[in-house]
Structure 1
């Protein structure tokens, strides 16, 4: 029928939990995914073995390598949304604005939760993680690369990581619940026959 409106739901929201290594990205993202029945993805899982070896040796990745890595991360996000209609929580450093914009171009809008802390605190926490492939020597290069998200970049929330992890998760969960609720209450109205239709959203 001409002018018929088809209602389709918004794609499940994507949460980018970003920050330098040692900020607690994976712990926060896992906690949020568990609380909200979402899908957890860890950006570290999409590094090639050769690049993990480089970083373990204290060699930072260049932008070309990171672009390929981010492309794999985006494919994983798309696959997760296709598999489950659930929010996706991706722990990924995404230090530069160009990296975050690349993800947006590939998967759509993001809710960005930036876990922010001073270098000394991050260094202290990394010292307590001897099992992680990223050496403490790369923390300085990560802070040099970091372009903290701020207006007019959209969907950005900055969380201070100095409180206990439970407090950080509590704050992140409150934000995430609002975003999930808002996404679920705003379906798309798509006009299957646009000619002559006067009921555009």
Structure 2
């Protein structure tokens, strides 16, 4: 059965950096969730307007379908980055063929704000941190996964994450 690892969290928490390390470690396919957004969604976020559930629905369905395609192709693993802020969003992703695990990267808010402020050339703006925190729902007991407080360096986060995946 394919194991899908969804690296989740608010904007600027380090999803892409950690997902790329995991993808290399597992030698599997990787999907950058941002690439699955419509241009309208990117424009909206670039203007500082938070997405609503209707905006996110096709994006989440596309990611779910991509994961299912990996399973249909016989992949042992896949790695996806997706904010997956609400349980309802994660429920859509859990509809993929295979077993979906969520790795929630959760640095302290101040660290996240600093990372967003330093980010250049991305359509997400630093002021989006608050709107994402406002809707973030923690993982629940019926969801496979765990939280990593990634205040440290990517290498420190990596060690903690791989330790949890391996246990």
Question: Are residue 86 (structure 1) and residue 53 (structure 2) matched?
Answer: no
- Structure 1 runs of 4+ aligned residues shifted over 6 Å read none
Distance across 1 between alignment mates of 2:24 and 2:165: 12
Question: Are residue 155 (structure 1) and residue 144 (structure 2) matched?
Answer: yes
Displacement, 1:108? 4.5
Distance across 2 between alignment mates of 1:80 and 1:156: 20
Displacement, 1:103? 1.2
Displacement, 1:38? 1.7
Equivalent residue number for residue 141 of structure 1:
131
Distance across 1 between alignment mates of 2:50 and 2:92: 20
Q: What secondary structure, in the 3-state scheme, does the structure 2 residue paired with 1:72 have?
A: helix
Relative to the length of structure 1, the TM-score reads 0.78
Distance across 2 between alignment mates of 1:135 and 1:60: 10
Instruction: State the Cα deviation string for residues 171-197 of structure 1 (Å, max 9, x = none).
Output: 21233345xxxxxxxxxxxxxxxxxxx
The higher relative CO (CA closer than 8 Å, separation ≥ 6) is in 1
Gapped runs of 5+ residues in structure 2? none
Instruction: State the Cα deviation string for residues 69-98 of structure 1 (Å, max 9, x = none).
Output: 100111111222333523111110000011
Displacement, 1:161? 0.8
Between the two proteins, the alignment pairs up a number of residues equal to 167
Instruction: State the Cα deviation string for residues 35-76 of structure 1 (Å, max 9, x = none).
Output: 111211111110001110110000111101111110011111
Displacement, 1:153? 2.8
Relative to the length of structure 2, the TM-score reads 0.93
Distance across 2 between alignment mates of 1:53 and 1:36: 33
Q: What secondary structure, in the 3-state scheme, does the structure 1 residue paired with 2:76 have?
A: coil
Displacement, 1:121? 1.0
Distance across 2 between alignment mates of 1:43 and 1:140: 20
Correspondences of 1:104-143 after superposition (within 5 Å):
104-143=94-133
Distance across 1 between alignment mates of 2:75 and 2:41: 32
Structure whose alpha-carbon radius of gyration is higher: 1
Gapped runs of 5+ residues in structure 1? 1-10, 179-201
Equivalent residue number for residue 154 of structure 2:
165
Distance across 2 between alignment mates of 1:169 and 1:56: 30
